[in-house]
């Protein structure tokens, strides 16, 4: 632990020299932020003042194996000492083994990985492969990409325009990328198309994507990208019909189906990959976060051989390079991380403890009218708050519900950042039921207080 | 630990996996398989790497012009391990000590008032961030019409959806059309092939800078958000602009309220013999992007560094710049970057880059006297380039059909060099810890390789 003085000095420097995400340095200064995190084990992290926190967010839903896994540090160290880096024109042993491992654990004929350093890069790579795939087959008109309102696929120049988030408008970065089509999100709690059951909503939302494609000339659509379960709007699990229908629609119109498993992959939803819940094999799958539990930057675009084969042959190679692609140290760390997930059965733990967690949240719902909906799968769970269960109306901005909750969670030792009235839960997959109880009891207390403050009975 | 197989049978199995499951750069798996499968490197030390069969190579490319401090730096591995054992990761918003120290270090090294770093994981992300900051900056000031970006033909700024449309030329990205709206392309100040027939470095530089101003006037100054350029462009084979270029570009940007983004992804951290290449011309950009040499590629890390004039516009809760990257500001990568920068400083690698770079440049110029295929030799520090031509008088380049680069690449291999040639030429960017004796070895290998190519293609 650094001395408090030194911690304070560091904190000031961070305000002077760092441009941090989601926060600005003026308001952070006013609130005595940022926290400087110094150590971690399992679900818990420690800050420079010696306070211990439970990380309910799991570091952007990414630290699947939890903190403090020194085995991963050893694996990274051993690799870095021997061969710290080499460009992906030549390759390295860990990059190859990771490619092989991904082919083994991903569903169906997904078998070839383009390794990169983040989810945005993985999705950019997927879009480029999809567009190039059609061109290589002389299907030249295809360039449009279908995504869904309320989804998030990254922040770089192309993928930034996929999905949408009312809380983070993109006007600053206009003009928009050409060819973006937006479908509805199969969220049965607020079904845009009036479906009242998950099945009905799923059916209507999938049909609506088909109509969107038909109305925009199917021969011009290159790809459809979707997260099996979309986190930003609170992890609505689509009805059973949804994914098989999307698969059919893509096949019918010759569209490449891209599953963004950046959050869902590596056990988060109680299966290794969430697409498995519905037995659907996408043409391209992107993975990041849990593949390495964020111990280092790594992600991958995993492609079926049917798509990849268009790029075989000397002159057909894909023109696409990232300096850090297939980084051997990141690959070695990822291999160790996956080994831990497998050895400790963290996927099963996500399913069982996730179900326990969800049941506890359902229990809270019975006592707290402010909870409108509890949903999710495995350890990707969400609680949506409403001012009135019947109308499902949220809260006026002046009530600052998110800020109040952030304050309460903080006072009670939770790292649990809430951006809106939707509380997204994504802890490390090694969480135990007693840790769930701890979190739920803080939630219980905090929601009780909040209900009084905003006058919900 | 990831074991390195020793038996021929296991090695060939590994190669088979690579061919089946990896999507590698700049080559396809069928041809690679026919050629015996990919090279697999397993060890490195200084400027040398060793492959899985035990053969040693001299890495004249320095990774992708990125391994500035060379291979085998256990200090960096120690720093990474210590940090990863203590604190593996935490999303930025809260933060970690090594990241803060790195941001402070970057501010202290960067020229002028560049002082606030947005940390990311690669050069593409850093440039995307720079473009987004530039576009938002104008909007926040109510200057809503500015969205166009000027880059230069023959430059490279990355592979993601926005930046892939900068620079470039030819058919390299036709697979990915349509382009992002608002791309404007200026000429590359390459005196050897000056688009304006400038006869001297100065003349070419002045005309290329004037061309930037003309483009701005043509497209409407109020619609242009930023100008982005590498101080010396590696993808244009290290063409060094004449001295008037950068001061003129700085003035033009100021005159029309356009942000100047310097892409120091390759040129930063000593590559050209200064810590940052724009120091050669004493120019301070509004935004600078760095990657590669900042960690010598030991881990993925990059940053977008802004002056306070720019970043202050985003201070205050209502003015937040909206962007997040999961791995942005990774503490382990930051710790490695700090250890790497310490090596660069304590071993004076920036000076070595200047001195040994000059030695290498002179040796290459000597080679040129004996090799008619070498049209031009140029560069700064340890970022050097050779343009190869069929005929020095006409400066005619080779076409893929000539097979020149294939022969040359084979020869470089035969001479133990990792050095990649295209039909336009060769760019050299070895680790900055290179010694003179190593330069001599490289020159000897290039000499032999060029002789063979000249003989096979009858270039006299
Ligand atoms: C579903 C999804 N896709 C892509 C991304 C982008 O990943 P990254 O932040 O690593 O670029 C994220 C990040 O949160 C995500 O949640
Ligand atoms: C000048 C320049 N800018 C940006 C990039 C992109 O960096 P990255 O490959 O890390 O995304 C490169 C990569 O070679 C580069 O040379």
Helices (H), A1-118: 4-17, 25-30, 58-61, 70-82, 93-105
In this predicted structure, the answer to whether residue A34 has a pLDDT above a threshold of 50 is yes
Q: How do residues B95-153 score in pLDDT, each as one tens digit?
A: 899 999 999 999 999 999 999 999 999 999 999 999 999 999 999 999 999 999 999 99
The confidence score (pLDDT) of residue B22 equals 96
- Residue ending a domain, among B293, B327, B346, is B346
Question: Which residues of A are less than 8 Å from B90 in CB distance?
Answer: 37, 40, 45, 59
What was the pLDDT predicted at A2?
Answer: 46
- Token pair, residue A343, equals 């050895």
Say if residue A31's pLDDT is above 90: no
Q: Does A358 touch chain B (CB under 8 A)?
A: no
Interchain CB contact of B406 with A (< 8 Å): no
B112 and B210 assigned to the same domain = yes
Whole-angstrom distance, CA of residue A49 vs CA of residue B435? 47
Pick from A320, A279, A263, A286: nearest CA to A126? A286
B8 vs A: CB within 8 A: no
In whole numbers, what is the pLDDT of chain B averaged over residues?
Answer: 96
- B88 and B133 belong to one structural domain: yes
By residue range, what is the domain housing residue B93? 74-346
Same domain as B399, residue B316: no
Domain assignment present for B251: yes
- Which 276-315 residues of chain B touch chain A by CB within 8 A? 291-292, 296-301, 304, 306, 311, 314-315
Q: Is B326 on the interface with A (CB under 8 A)?
A: yes
Q: Residue B86 in contact with residue A37, Cβ under 8 Å?
A: no
Contact B161 A81 (CB under 8 A): no
Q: How confident is the model at residue B241 (pLDDT cuts 50, 70, 90)?
A: very high
pLDDT digits (tens, 9 = 90+) for B277-327: 999 999 999 999 999 999 999 999 999 999 999 999 999 988 999 999 999
Out of B346, B372, B406, pick the residue that ends a domain. Answer: B346
- Mean pLDDT of the residues in chain A: 96
CATH number of the domain residue B448 falls in: 3.90.1150.10
Same domain, B438 and B393: yes
A56 contacts in chain B (CB < 8 Å):
none
**pLDDT score at A220:** 98
Q: Is B54 helix (H, G, I), strand (E, B) or coil?
A: coil
pLDDT confidence band for A114 (50 / 70 / 90): very high
Distance CA A429, CA B95 (A): 23
Q: Kindly state the tokens that stand for B12.
A: 């060939």
B53 close to B8: Cβ distance less than 8 angstroms: no
Q: B323 and B450: one domain?
A: no
Per-residue pLDDT at A4:
65
**Does residue A143 surpass a pLDDT of 50?**
yes
Nearest CA in chain B to A288: B326
Residue B326 and residue B382 in one domain: no
Assess whether B272 and B360 both reside in one domain. no
Per-window interface: B 350-379 vs A, CB < 8 A: none
Residues B259 and B147 in one domain: yes
Give every CB contact of residue B7 below 8 A, 6+ residues apart in sequence. none
Same domain, B399 and B321: no
pLDDT of A1 strictly over 60: no
pLDDT digits over B19-42, tens only? 999 999 999 999 999 999 999 999
pLDDT tens by residue, A190-236? 999 999 999 999 999 999 999 999 999 999 999 999 999 999 989 99
What would the pLDDT profile of A297-314 be if each residue is shown by its tens digit?
999 999 999 999 999 998
Is residue B445 located within the same domain as residue B368?
yes
Task: For residue A134, give the 3-state DSSP assignment.
Answer: helix
Question: Using 50, 70 and 90 to split pLDDT, how confident is the model at A403?
Answer: very high
| Domains in chain B, number | 2
Q: Using CA atoms, how far apart are residues A210 and A154, in angstroms rounded to an integer?
A: 24
Please report the pLDDT score of residue B149 as a whole number: 98
Residue B16, domain member (yes or no): no
Chain A positions in Cβ-Cβ contact with residue B115 (cut-off 8 Å) = 16-17
Cα angle for residues A382, A386, A387 (degrees, 5° grid): 160
B177 with B98, same domain: the answer is yes
Whole-angstrom distance, CA of residue A212 vs CA of residue B76: 52
Work out the percent of chain A whose per-residue pLDDT is above 90.
92
Residue contact A327–B103, C-beta within 8 A? no
The interaxial angle of helices A346-367 and A433-453, nearest 10 deg, is 30
d(CA B118, ligand 1 centre) in Å:
17
Predicted pLDDT of residue B121? 98
| Percent of chain B topping pLDDT 90 | 95
DSSP B325-347: -TTTT-HHHHHHHHHHHHHHHHT
The domain that holds B126 is classified in CATH as: 3.40.640.10
Q: Do A329 and B299 touch (CB under 8 A)?
A: yes
Query: What is the pLDDT averaged over residues A251-271?
Result: 98
Q: Among A30-39, A125-134, B360-369, where is mean pLDDT lowest? A: A30-39
Handedness of CA A280, A282, A288, A292 (dihedral sign): positive
The predicted structure's pLDDT at residue B460: 83
Q: Are B383 and B236 in contact (CB under 8 A)?
A: no
Q: Please state, in angstroms and rounded to a whole number, the distance separating the CA atoms of residues A333 and B84.
A: 11
Cis peptide before A175 (omega within 30 of 0): yes
Residues B19 and B27 sit within 8 Å (Cβ to Cβ): no
Q: Tell me which chain A residue has its CA closest to the CA of residue B31.
A: A314
d(Cα B49, Cα A242) in Å, to the nearest integer?
51
Q: Give the helix/strand (H/E) hosting A358.
A: helix A346-367
Asked if residue B166 is part of any domain, the answer here is yes
Query: Tokens in use for B362?
Result: 């002179």
CB spacing of A175 vs B182 below 8 angstroms: yes
**Which residues, including other chains, have CB under 8 Å from residue B357's CB and lie 6 or more apart?**
B272, B273, B379, B380, B381, B382, B383, B384
Q: Judge whether B14 lies within some domain.
A: no
Contact in structure between A261 and A239 (CB atoms under 8 Å): no
B335 and B380 co-located in one domain: no
Give chain B positions within 8 Å (CB) of A294.
Answer: 88-89, 326-327, 330
> In a 10 Å sphere around its CB, with 0-12 CB exposed, 13-18 middle and 19+ buried, how is residue A296 labelled?
buried
Distances (CA, A) of A178 to A64, A126, B7, B181: 36, 17, 52, 8
Instruction: Judge whether B23 lies within some domain.
Output: no
pLDDT of residue A5: 82
Q: Which of B330, B346, B362 is the last residue of a domain?
A: B346
Q: Is residue B46 part of a domain?
A: yes
Chain A closest-CA separation from residue B370 CA (Å)? 31
Of all protein residues, whose CA lies closest to atom 14 belonging to ligand 2? Answer: A323
**B-chain residue closest to A159, CA distance:** B161
Of A16, A20, A63, the CB nearest to B92: A20
Q: Is residue B236 part of a domain?
A: yes
Q: Does residue B325 lie within any of the structural domains?
A: yes
Q: Which domains does chain A have, with CATH numbers?
A: 35-64+345-453 (3.90.1150.10), 70-343 (3.40.640.10)
Whether residue A28 is predicted with pLDDT greater than 50 in this model: the reply is yes
Contact residues, chain A, for B45 at CB < 8 Å: none
* CB contact set of B103 (below 8 Å; sequence gap of 6+): A13, A14, A17, A18, B116, B117, B119, B303
Q: Which of A111, A159, A335 is nearest residue B20 as measured by Cβ atoms? A: A111
Tokens of A74: 């050893």
């Amino acid at each position: 632990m650094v001395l408090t003085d030194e911690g304070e000095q560091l904190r000031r420097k961070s305000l002077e020299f760092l441009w941090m995400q989601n926060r600005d340095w003026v308001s952070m200064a006013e609130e005595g932020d940022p926290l400087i995190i110094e150590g971690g084990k399992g679900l818990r992290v420690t800050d420079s003042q010696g306070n211990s926190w439970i990380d309910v967010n799991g570091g952007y839903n990414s630290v699947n194996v939890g903190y403090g896994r020194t085995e991963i540090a050893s694996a990274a160290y051993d690799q870095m000492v021997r061969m710290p880096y080499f460009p992906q024109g030549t390759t390295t042993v860990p990059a190859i083994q990771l490619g092989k491992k991904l082919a083994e654990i991903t569903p169906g004929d997904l078998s070839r990985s383009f390794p990169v350093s983040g989810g945005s890069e993985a999705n950019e790579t997927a879009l480029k492969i999809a567009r190039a795939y059609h061109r290589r087959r002389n299907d030249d008109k295809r360039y449009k990409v279908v995504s869904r309102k309320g989804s998030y696929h990254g922040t770089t120049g192309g993928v930034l325009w996929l999905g949408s988030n009312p809380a983070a408008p993109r006007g600053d970065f206009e003009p928009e990328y050409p060819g973006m089509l937006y479908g509805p999100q199969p969220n049965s709690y607020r079904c845009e198309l009036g479906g009242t059951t998950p099945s009905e909503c799923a059916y209507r939302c999938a049909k609506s994507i088909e109509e969107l494609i038909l109305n925009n000339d199917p021969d011009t659509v290159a790809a459809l990208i979707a997260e099996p379960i979309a986190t930003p709007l609170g992890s609505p699990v689509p009805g059973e019909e949804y994914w098989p229908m999307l698969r059919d629609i893509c096949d019918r119109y010759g569209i490449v189906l891209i599953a963004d498993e950046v959050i869902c992959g590596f056990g988060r939803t109680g299966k290794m990959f969430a697409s498995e819940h519905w037995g659907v094999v996408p043409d391209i799958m992107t993975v990041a976060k849990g593949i390495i539990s964020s111990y280092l930057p790594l992600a991958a675009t995993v492609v079926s051989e049917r798509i990849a084969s268009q790029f075989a042959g000397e002159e057909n190679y894909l023109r696409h390079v990232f300096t850090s692609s297939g980084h051997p140290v990141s690959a070695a760390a990822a291999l160790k991380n996956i080994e831990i997930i497998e050895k400790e059965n963290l996927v099963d733990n996500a399913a069982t403890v996730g179900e326990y967690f969800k049941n506890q949240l359902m229990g809270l719902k019975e006592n707290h009218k402010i909870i409108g909906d509890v949903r999710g799968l495995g350890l990707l769970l969400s609680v949506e708050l409403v001012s009135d269960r019947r109308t499902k109306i949220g809260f006026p901005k002046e009530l600052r519900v998110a800020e109040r909750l952030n304050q309460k969670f903080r006072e009670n030792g939770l790292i649990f950042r809430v951006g809106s009235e939707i509380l997204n839960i994504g802890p490390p997959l090694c969480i135990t039921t007693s840790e769930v109880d701890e979190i739920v009891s803080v939630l219980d207390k905090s929601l009780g207080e909040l209900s009084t403050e905003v006058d919900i009975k | 630990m990831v074991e390195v197989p020793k038996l021929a049978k296991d090695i060939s199995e590994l190669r088979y996996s690579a061919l089946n499951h990896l999507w590698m750069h700049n080559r396809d798996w069928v041809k690679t398989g026919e050629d015996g499968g990919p090279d697999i490197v397993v060890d490195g030390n200084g400027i040398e790497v060793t492959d899985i069969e035990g053969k040693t190579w001299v890495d004249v490319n320095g990774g992708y012009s990125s391994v500035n401090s060379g291979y085998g730096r256990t200090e960096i591995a120690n720093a990474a391990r210590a940090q990863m054992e203590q604190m593996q990761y935490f999303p930025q918003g809260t933060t970690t000590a090594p990241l803060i120290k790195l941001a402070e270090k970057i501010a202290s090294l960067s020229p002028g008032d560049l002082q606030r770093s947005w940390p990311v994981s690669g050069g593409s992300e850093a440039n995307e961030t720079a473009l987004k900051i530039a576009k938002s900056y104008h909007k926040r000031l109510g200057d809503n019409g500015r969205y166009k970006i000027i880059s230069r033909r023959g430059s490279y700024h990355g592979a993601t959806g926005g930046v892939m449309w900068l620079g470039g030329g030819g058919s390299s990205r036709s697979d990915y059309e349509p382009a992002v709206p608002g791309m404007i392309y200026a000429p590359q100040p390459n005196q050897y092939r000056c688009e304006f027939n400038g006869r001297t470095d100065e003349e070419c530089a002045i005309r290329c800078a004037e061309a930037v101003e003309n483009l701005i006037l043509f497209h409407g100054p109020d619609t242009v958000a930023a100008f982005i350029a590498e101080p010396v462009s590696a993808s244009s084979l290290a063409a060094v602009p004449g001295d008037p270029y950068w001061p003129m570009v700085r003035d033009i940007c100021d005159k029309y309220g356009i942000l100047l983004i310097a892409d120091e992804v390759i040129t930063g951290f000593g590559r050209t013999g200064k810590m940052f290449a724009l120091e050669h011309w004493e120019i301070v950009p509004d935004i600078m992007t760095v990657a590669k040499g900042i960690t010598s590629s030991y881990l993925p890390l990059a940053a977008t560094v802004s002056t306070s004039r720019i970043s202050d516009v985003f201070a205050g809760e209502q003015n937040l710049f909206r962007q997040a990257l999961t791995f942005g500001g990774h503490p382990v990568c930051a710790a490695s970057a700090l250890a790497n920068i310490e090596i660069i400083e304590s071993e004076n690698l920036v000076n070595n880059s200047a001195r040994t770079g000059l030695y290498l440049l002179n040796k290459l110029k000597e080679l040129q006297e004996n090799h008619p295929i070498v049209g031009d030799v140029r560069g700064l520090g340890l970022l050097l380039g050779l343009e190869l031509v069929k005929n020095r008088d006409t400066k005619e380049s080779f076409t893929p059909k000539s097979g020149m680069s294939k022969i040359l690449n084979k020869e470089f291999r035969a001479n133990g060099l990792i050095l990649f040639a295209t039909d336009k030429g060769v760019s050299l960017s070895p680790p900055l810890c290179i010694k003179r004796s190593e330069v001599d070895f490289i020159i000897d290998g290039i000499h032999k390789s060029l002789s063979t190519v000249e003989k096979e293609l009858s270039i006299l």
